[in-house]
Structures are given as C-alpha cells and as structure tokens.
Structure 1
C-alpha cells in the first residue's frame, strides 16, 4: 500500500535555494532488497547544493536532495534479511531523496543503530564522517605521529577529518575563514587563516613538509598545497568547493578551478616520491558497499563510546530546507540537520 500523506522537499529545476519547496508526495512500497524508512532527521551536505545547481551529472529534475538520514524502518522489500520493521537505522541514499518524510534505500546502505543515540550526531556519520574515515584509512593512511593539512577544516567533511585524524594520533593543520579559526583551534587543530599567506604559515608549522593534504576546494589550492608535501607525501583531492560562490554555480569560478588544477605526469610523481589520490564519495561508496557498512558501523561504535562528537551547526525544520542551504553557503562549522518527524 502506498503512503499517501508524505511530503518531500523538491527542486523542480536548477537554481538557488528558493527552488526548494515542500510538496505532498506518495511513497510506494520498497523494491526487492530495499526498505522504506520513516525519516526522523536528514542531513544537509555540500553535495546537495551541487545537485540543486545542476552540477551533478545525469541529474533529472524535479529532484529531492539529501544523502543521509536517520529513521525507522516502515516496510521491507522482498529478500531483505539485514533489517526489519521497527528498527532504527542510519542510511545513505544514492545521492538524493533524503529531504523527505520517507525514503527508500537498499539494505546495503543502511545499518541498525541504537535508539538512545542522538539523531543529529548519527546523521553526520554516513556522509561526512564516512568520507573522512575512508580517506584516512583506505585512500591515504598515515602512521600515528604524522602531520596532515586539511583545507576547509571547519566544514562538514573537513571537521570530521580534523577530529578523526587527531583520534588516530596525527597532528592537524587546518585552513578556515577568520571567523571560524577559534572553533577550529578548539577542536585541536593548528588553525590557519585561508585568506592570509597560508602556504607560509603551513611551512612554518611543518618545515619538513606534511604527510597528507586533504583538499576539498580544488584548483589553485591543490597546486599550491603540492609544494608543502614532505617525502612520500600524498595530496588527496575530494571536492571542488572553489567552483561554487556563495552557494551558487559560478562559470567564472568553475573555469578558474579547472584552469588552476594541478597537473603532474606519472614520471614527475615517481621522481619526487609523491602521490595524488582522488576520492569521490558518490562513486566510492556504491562501488564498495561492504566497506561502507563496515566503516559506518565502526564510526557508530566510536560515537556510542563518546570517542567522537560531531559538531552540529544548526537544526531546522524540513520546511526550512532553503534556509539551510543559505546557511551552508555562508559558511558553518559542522553539520546542518533537518528535523523531519513533525511533517509526517
């Protein structure tokens, strides 16, 4: 039986936050291998902005943003063995659908979670913290005692990188805007103003070079960071926030980001003993569902024993999704969360 009383935030065509409107919607029974979840909270991510702006390949409008959510399993499809009705779950969508009272997801991308854990802290894990954890443990693992540079260190993934890197015994240098340096320093990072001469500041903090640079900005940021790597170092590129200005697509910024992107030949990298790695969560997670479930389960365990504490920047009702995107565009420290239950 279809759910007829649900609601979802919909962008009918690409554009700014004003395109996000709350609309009635029906939700069908889940397909084989899938579960339908009654959503409690949904996370807001930078990828949602790219989706809304039409910068995600193969996006078809109308579309409902939302990568991550916490809720209760309401219906299970044929062949589902991992989850059951009534279980509370933390899930990851294929890249859309989370801003809604109900969402369908494959059982491969949802795990059961304790009912006593805060939903806002949980929802920060399935995208932001999984991305950070996989980069730190699978893409470019660093030994304890090393030093890493995190750009955008006060944001969602950046903040997770800072916390998890320190948990793994790494020294962290992080760049952020001047307004967020104090909050970044409070989380244990050497905070550097991204508007200043950050290259010089990083060299002063790590004269022998850093072991890993995590770059979610792209363009010239990665190119300038490459010179800061020590022997055997790695540059990990995982985003292009530099191609968007104030939460809107910018042809000039996109062109500048593309033009400024670091280009190195394999021979050059070999001769320098350095590496460049790319991480795209939207590709990596679907390709390795077992790794996703393993990593997410480990992160939930860390949250349960209070080894990590995701920073929540704001909690807004689902109907204020547009305002959530405006806040994200202005820069926030931590995760923005949408409360959904009251709209069912």
Structure 2
C-alpha cells in the first residue's frame, strides 16, 4: 500500500463558514481494522456546524468536518477480511474527516453498497436516515396507526423521520417554516407553521395527544412539546439547534435554550406514564456498531427498492464547503451534499429554487 495525496477542507480555528478552506493533504495507509476510501460525495450536517463553531467537546483544531461519505475502497488495513479494494461503500466517520478526497474509517462503520445507486442519496443515509431509523425503531418505537410529531420536518433528519414514520404506518404531524408547508402537505404530512401557535394546531390535529415527539430544536420547544404527549407517550430530544443563530454560536441563544429546557423528575415521569429520551448519534452509533451496520444495510436495501427517496437540497463541489454551511444555516430542505469525485452533474437547486452551477 502507498499513501495518497489529495485535499481536505480544514477549519484551523473555530468560527464562521469563512474558516473552512481547502488544503492539500497526505492520507496515510489505513490502520489495522480500517479502510481508506476515495470519496465520491460527502454529506453536510448540523453537527458539522457545531464542530466548526467549537461546540463539540474535545474538538482539537485544525479539524476537517464531515460525518458521512460514499466512495470506493482504495486500501484496507491489517485484519480487514469482508471489505476489499474496489468495493463501493457508504461510511460513517468518527465525527470528522468526511470533507476530503479520501477518508479512513473503521471497517465497523463501512457498508458495501451497489455501484449504480446515486451518491447523493446514499450519503444521506449514515447520519440522517440512520439517526431517524434508530429513534423510530430502537429508542421510542410507536405502533402502526399511531401519531408522531416531528419538528423541522422539512430538514435533513426531520425529513427522514417523516418519511420513515409514514413507511412504518404512522401519521405524521410536522412543523416547518411557512414556505415549506405546501411541500410537506404534498408528501402526506399534516403540516404546521412553526412560527404560529403550533401547540394549539397540534392539539387540534391530535386531541388525545401524540405517541412520540421528535425534537431536534431543544429548549422551550421540548418543554412545550412534552405537554402534547398522549398516554404512554415519549419525547425524544436529539438536537439543540435553538442554541444557534443562523448557524453561528450564540451565547444568548445557548443561555435561553438552557433556561427553557424541560425539567422532569423520574417520579414525575413515572406518575404521568410518560418518557423522555435523548438520542445523540455521536454517542449511540460508536457504542453499537453492529446496530449501525444492520440499520444502514436495511436502509440501503430500502433505497435500492425505491421505498425511500432522500431529498437533496443542494450539491456543491468540495471547494464550496463554506457556501454549503451557509445554505444549511439558512434552513435547507433536505440533505446538502459535497461532490468530491467526478460528479454526473454539478448543477444544483438551492432551497429557494434558484439554479446554481457549482463547477
């Protein structure tokens, strides 16, 4: 094996999107149990913004963001037996490293996929769809025929939650900005304007309460959502986007989020027959690699059968990672993807319908 030369997007210190710069880099041989992948596409996620802003504990700068990628195995480390060079894989990083021409990951977090599936659709799976699937099937399963509330139902994880919940026979109430309500309704979601009195609207749609609330906002949104649960219901909190303002660290917003956070004692939950669950992909996935591979394999099969169709908000070249972060902070509807290898097309549509030539 030989090391590979390539490029990576690097944030040398915390700050705004302008901190993301493209730099030359050498990629070493994979460690034992690891694989080195020539990346075709990398996913952009809110966790990348938190990383860039220095809000992820124990982050050491300089750092390359990126949780998920798809590409071709270039080399394998000692002890790797089930994956071989030339295979196409979709991978989950250890929380950083995906915005690059090459990435090394443990074989535990790489799943072989067909060559003919779209790279952008595939890269939506390891973070957005696996997170949604695990919350729906492992953290707080709801029986078919039930009703769930999904906050940010037009976003990356929220959109995956809405689609997968419907696939599992659940009625979905979804909050979103006014401009996205029509699109949600067209997909069978009971859309609610998040800027209005959404608590009243949800109560009207589900008078007996909802079975599960999936909340990636946190703070007061979690506290108000708790009041909407029906008997035996669960609130699942998986993010704190309320602590950011347009994708930037905000001490005032963080303080407000902390002050507005739901506080319930174990005895209080017991007496009400309700549950509050937290899901953090960065903790859950590394602790359960077998579950990750099982869930990602199932989702890839659903994609191959066209049972799911990840929404792609934008596709940009690697050099425009900063613009990708700006689009995400503005509220992208679906997954934002960085095309790293030779893409079939670099013409993308932004959230407002404008056409951008990313070449």
Aligned to 1:45: 45
Aligned to 1:336: 336
Task: Assess if the C-alpha contact under 8 Å between 1:2 and 1:27 holds in 2.
Answer: no
Task: Assess if the C-alpha contact under 8 Å between 1:215 and 1:237 holds in 2.
Answer: yes
Aligned to 2:254: 254
Deviation at 1:4, TM superposition (A): 4.8
Aligned to 1:230: 230
Task: Assess if the C-alpha contact under 8 Å between 1:162 and 1:187 holds in 2.
Answer: no
Aligned to 1:107: 107
Aligned to 1:66: 66
Q: Distance in 2 between matches of 1:226 and 1:187?
A: 26
Aligned to 1:179: 179
Aligned to 1:319: 319
Deviation at 1:29, TM superposition (A): 0.1
Q: Distance in 2 between matches of 1:228 and 1:202?
A: 8
| Alignment length (residue pairs) | 343
For the aligned residue pairs, the C-alpha RMSD in angstroms reads 0.9
Deviation at 1:101, TM superposition (A): 0.1
Q: Distance in 2 between matches of 1:6 and 1:312?
A: 26
Deviates more, 1:174-183 or 1:14-23: 174-183
SS in 2 for 1:211: strand
Deviation at 1:3, TM superposition (A): 3.4
Aligned to 1:24: 24
Describe how 1:1-344 pairs up with structure 2 within 5 A: 2-342=2-342
Q: Distance in 1 between matches of 2:14 and 2:2?
A: 28
Deviates more, 1:186-195 or 1:67-76: 186-195
**Contiguous gaps of at least 5 residues in structure 2:** 344-359
Q: Distance in 2 between matches of 1:218 and 1:319?
A: 32
**Contiguous gaps of at least 5 residues in structure 1:** none
Q: Output the TM-score relative to the length of structure 2.
A: 0.94
Q: Distance in 2 between matches of 1:222 and 1:310?
A: 26
SS in 2 for 1:341: coil
Deviation by residue 1:160-218 (Cα, 9 ceiling, x = unmatched): 00000000000000001111112222221101000000000000000000000000000
